[in-house]
Amino acid sequence: MQTFAQAKLKVGDKAPDFTATDQDGKSISLSSYSGKKVVLYFYPKDQTPGCTEEACNLRDNITQLGDAGWVVLGVSTDDELSHKEFQKKYNLPFSLVADKDKTINQKYGVWVEKERDGKKYMGTARTTFLIDEKGVITSVIDKVDTKQHASQILTY
């Protein structure tokens, strides 16, 4: 099993830039959000229970997040079509970034070894990075409460 030595990013680090495509096949770069506060949340898989809870909690609180100045971007290793179906089914009002080659996951140190039922595998660690207007990480939420994620973000 291949593992990656990328250290997990921490508060005060510059958020690594990336360019990938969203659910509509449009190119999206973190640097294009310069001057805005970004919630960059990594989640394991579209249409799974925990990921759906998390996305819907962010959706249901998008007005409060926006009022607090946050732009939300979701990232998973699913492809654009999967993201489009997920976005459409749950009426998600934010972009979902397709990280099919796991480059963004690796840059942020969230592509990790996991274990389920005694079997080890590589996957995305559910993690949220709060990034300020200058592109600096101001908070890392690695114990995400999928049902109350917006509240976690708004308390920072």
What is the distance between the alpha carbons of residues 156 and 137, in angstroms, rounded to a whole number? 12
Burial of 4: CB neighbours in 10 Å, binned 0-12, 13-18, 19+: middle
Catalytic residue among 51, 73, 125, 137: 51
Neighbours of 74 (CB within 10 A): 26
Residue type (1 letter), 49: P
Q: Is 56 a catalytic residue?
A: no
Residues contacting 19, CB < 8 A, separation 6+: 27, 28, 29
The answer to whether 110 and 21 are in contact (CB under 8 A) is no
**Residues β-bridged to residue 124:** 111
Q: Which of the residues are catalytic?
A: 51
